[in-house]
Amino acid sequence: MNVVSVLDCSKSFGHGPNATLALSGVDMEVVDGELMVLLGPSGCGKSTLLRLVSGLETASSGSLTLLGEPLDGPHPEVGMIFQTYTSFPWLTIEDNVGFGLKLRGVPTQEWKQSATEMLEKVGLKEFKSSYPGQLSGGMQQRVAIARALTMSPKVLLMDEPFGALDALTRVEMQLFLLDICQREKMTIIFVTHDIDEAILLADRITILSPHPGRVFDTVSVEIPHPRRIEDTEEPAFVSLRHRLRSAIFSMKASA
């Protein structure tokens, strides 16, 4: 089942001769339970495409459907995680994770229980009374993931969520996300410009070309789960790394 369908979508910013075409004629389908990675160089429209799927931006032409229905704005079944930390610094970790449920009018006892259960899943239960400023960057992104998952979204959108982390923490978070994906069976669209990150995480990779963003290729990742960081040195991983790198360099050279 296609959870997300993007059909011949284009997106322009501005009007008239000064308009900038960010995306042109993009087609993409994401199936239930899939982790789709959007990969490409800066300026290829990865984040713009993600914002179209989130409903935060409207396509200039083309159509998008979510769960079989036309998408015409932000959808309650879609969660989003950004690169920057988005927790409220004046709220405890528990209150941050339960914030969306509280806004929905869920009784206090219920949202607190849900928040605690999700914090346990992401390994932060003992920090529920702490504040965001007391946590490391990786822990803050775990809080963001916990907050999104507490809302039980059908689709989770992640815009370079580990880009600001140091190398070791980034690997830890990649493995953490793989574990969450296997346990929660979620549909995820993940933006990155890091080839190794794309291969490690993805079921499929959509490569976008720049200026304007177009789908250059879609590649299946056949490396079995559960995946480990050691897989990055395996022949299948190395071969796919070379293939993607060559594709991106040739794409940029012809742009």
Q: For the chain, how many structural domains are there in total?
A: 1
**Position 40 in a domain:** yes
33-42: pLDDT as tens digits: 999 999 998 8
pLDDT tier at 255 (50, 70, 90 boundaries)? Answer: low
**Position 122 in a domain:** no
Peptide bond into 212 cis (omega under 30): yes
**Position 15 in a domain:** yes
Domain of 21 in residue numbering reads as: 2-77+153-254
| CA–CA–CA angle 83, 76, 97 (5° rounding) | 55
192-219: pLDDT as tens digits: 999 999 999 999 999 999 889 999 999 9
Peptide bond into 107 cis (omega under 30): no
- The percent of residues above 90 in pLDDT, for the chain, comes to 72
**Position 218 in a domain:** yes
Report how many helices (DSSP H) and strands (DSSP E) the chain contains, helices first: 8, 10
| Spatial contact of 64 and 3, defined as CB atoms under 8 Å apart | no
Q: Is the pLDDT of residue 18 over 90?
A: no
Q: Cα–Cα distance between 245 and 255 in angstroms, integer?
A: 15
**Position 105 in a domain:** no
CATH number of domain containing 11: 3.40.50.300
**Position 178 in a domain:** yes
Q: Is the pLDDT of residue 253 over 80?
A: no
Interval 36-57 mean pLDDT = 93
**Position 14 in a domain:** yes
For 16: left if phi > 0, alpha if psi spans -120 to 50, otherwise beta; the answer is left
94-123: pLDDT as tens digits: 999 999 999 999 999 999 999 999 899 888
Closest Cα partner for 130 from 87, 186, 184?
A: 87
**Position 73 in a domain:** yes
Beta strands in the chain (DSSP E): 2-13, 20-31, 35-39, 61-66, 69-70, 78-81, 155-159, 187-192, 204-209, 214-220
pLDDT tier at 254 (50, 70, 90 boundaries)? Answer: confident
